[in-house]
Structure 1
Amino acid sequence: MSRKRPPHDGDELLARLGSLTSRAREHAELQRSRVELAIALQRGMLPAEMPTEPGFHLAVRYAPACHGLNVGGDWYDAFRMPDGRIGLSIGDVQGHNIEAAAFMGQVRVGLRALASVTSEPGELLARTNDLLLSLGTDLFATCTFMRLDPCTGVLESARAGHVPCVWATAEGKSGVADDEAGPPLGVQAGMTYPVTRYRLTTGGVFVLLTDGVVEGPSMEVDQGLDQVVRLAGVAAVAGMDASALAAAVIRGADLVGHEDDAAVLVVGYDKAAEGPGEGAEVQP
């Protein structure tokens, strides 16, 4: 003998399904709103314009990671310092959420503010490190800061646990910058950051980047850096402009499985520099 469900049981089941669907939709909308907020926060904190200087060309590209709430705190920056030189920074905040994006803004603004006190890259990173520790946050950041002298083409660079830069010359030489890095910013007080000097001459390029460009599930960091070295080498020999090189490098981030933010800042030079040099020469 068959038993029939009361008619109201089916209605109750449909009502429950409708409620679950509605909650899932609301949750998805909330997640999307948070991602959009984090991306807007990131983009609002990045510089709208790059400083200009005859003979030098700056180009940037930025691709935020948008896997769920996987929105991080990568940044780039370039600004004129009080002594007339140009400050260049690129970095990556630990974490992938709105807090990381907000902390990124604090690091970037801190670097700019302290550059009015000292423009020497090593001292600037040391002061920024102590400033971030005073904020009492658990977050930290890796960073490269460079000071470019437009009169000589000299670049002075200090690194705080960040992925190294890539250089290339018009004569066909290219490689990964072989400099010593200090620890990330915001980890331990009283740290020092060694400074390495380079010289850009005609046709030379420097590529500053974050690890999302060169490291991911599909590629280890050394392989990713080699890929950028090849791109920069071809670009320098072919006379490719900085903007085209930056676009080519950021496209290469797709090959690493790009699950992180990816930022690229290219410095190109197209006039003869004073003194000897080969496009990107390490100076003692």
Structure 2
Amino acid sequence: MTRRRPTRSADDLLTALGRLTAQALERAELQKARVELAVALQRELLPSALPEVPGLRSAARYAPARHGLDIGGDWYDGFWLPDGAIGFSIGDVQGHDVEAAAFMGQIRIGLRAVAAAVDDPGEVLSRANDLLLSMDRGLFATCSFLRFDPATGELADARAGHVPAVWATADGDGGIVQNAGGVPLGILPGEAYPVTRRRMSETEVLVLLTDGVVEGPSFSIETGLEQVTRLVKAGVGTDPAELASQVIKVADLTGHTDDAAVLVLSHTGATDGTG
């Protein structure tokens, strides 16, 4: 004889529904709290101001992910070095949560510490790479590190698996920086990073960014970089903060789900102490 399963009353169903709703709300509140914590941590870890010298102005913008879920990995930075040069970095940590935001802060501080002791940008990235591997966090990061000498106008840069920069000059020339690079930080021990050295020309603009600016469901990275290149060419001579604001808006066109960062360096040709 087949036994019939007891019929659940309406009260039982409402009780079960209420329990599931409460669990869902609890998970939603927890996720909301994690997002808010990651956003707050991210903003606190980013620099409040960037260094400037006669002949070089800089500006940056950061935008969290459109839906507030994928945040915490992108950063930009600018800081004085002991010999009077300026270091700039921009990068993107694997992952998008509180852990990624905290790891981003560690990388940013680590780069500052290494750059204070090492002049060569490639060596800075190589030592930072070994430092990250020694931490054994299981995360990696893409990064570009630049060193600007105000006395000579020389820019030296190295890249670890990061999105290439975009440049333009007042005469209408410009494009994507085609410099060599190495693998992201935190993957291979003993990795070497080639360095590109050149003098910035007068009225030149260099824009560094993370992939959240130029890549998303609506845009390929190539299309995004083309869009940024057009903006940068048209924006030579404008205020760097205004140009950074225009470039960060490209992220809205891509339908991005990642956070995004932009760093603009505007060179006017007059170097410190040289006219």
CA distance in 1, matches of 2:183, 2:101: 21
Name the structure 1 match of 2:79: 79
Where in structure 1 are there 5+ consecutive unaligned residues? 1-7, 275-284
- CA distances 1:210-254 after superposition (whole Å, capped 9, x unpaired): 011111111111111111111110111xx2111111000000111
CA distance in 1, matches of 2:33, 2:50: 30
Where in structure 2 are there 5+ consecutive unaligned residues? 1-7
CA distance in 2, matches of 1:14, 1:95: 39
Name the structure 1 match of 2:97: 97
CA distance in 1, matches of 2:248, 2:66: 16
Q: 1:202, 1:273 within 8 Å by CA — same for their partners in 2?
A: no
Name the structure 2 match of 1:278: none
Name the structure 2 match of 1:168: 168
- Structure 1 position 185 matched with structure 2 position 185: yes
Q: CA deviation at 1:200?
A: 2.1
Q: 1:201, 1:273 within 8 Å by CA — same for their partners in 2?
A: no
Given residue 98 of structure 2, which amino acid in structure 1 is its aligned partner? I
RMSD of aligned Cα (Å)? 1.6
List, as ranges, runs of 4+ consecutive aligned residues in structure 1 with deviation greater than 3 Å. 66-69, 271-274
CA distance in 2, matches of 1:271, 1:155: 13
Given residue 219 of structure 1, which amino acid in structure 2 is its aligned partner? F
Q: 1:35, 1:66 within 8 Å by CA — same for their partners in 2?
A: no
- Structure 1 position 139 matched with structure 2 position 128: no
Q: 2:54, 2:271 within 8 Å by CA — same for their partners in 1?
A: no
Name the structure 2 match of 1:257: 255
Given residue 147 of structure 1, which amino acid in structure 2 is its aligned partner? R
- CA distances 1:66-125 after superposition (whole Å, capped 9, x unpaired): 546422411000000001000000001111222211111111110001112102101100
Name the structure 2 match of 1:29: 29
1:68–1:84 Cα change, 3 Å: closer
CA distance in 2, matches of 1:20, 1:137: 35
Q: CA deviation at 1:273?
A: 5.6
1:273–1:55 Cα change, 3 Å: closer
Q: CA deviation at 1:11?
A: 2.9
Identity of aligned residues (%): 59
- Taking structure 1 as the reference length, the TM-score comes to 0.89
Q: Number of residues paired by the alignment?
A: 265
More displaced 10-residue stretch of structure 1: 23-32 or 204-213: 23-32
CA distance in 2, matches of 1:216, 1:119: 36
Q: CA deviation at 1:267?
A: 0.3
Q: CA deviation at 1:41?
A: 1.4
- Taking structure 2 as the reference length, the TM-score comes to 0.92
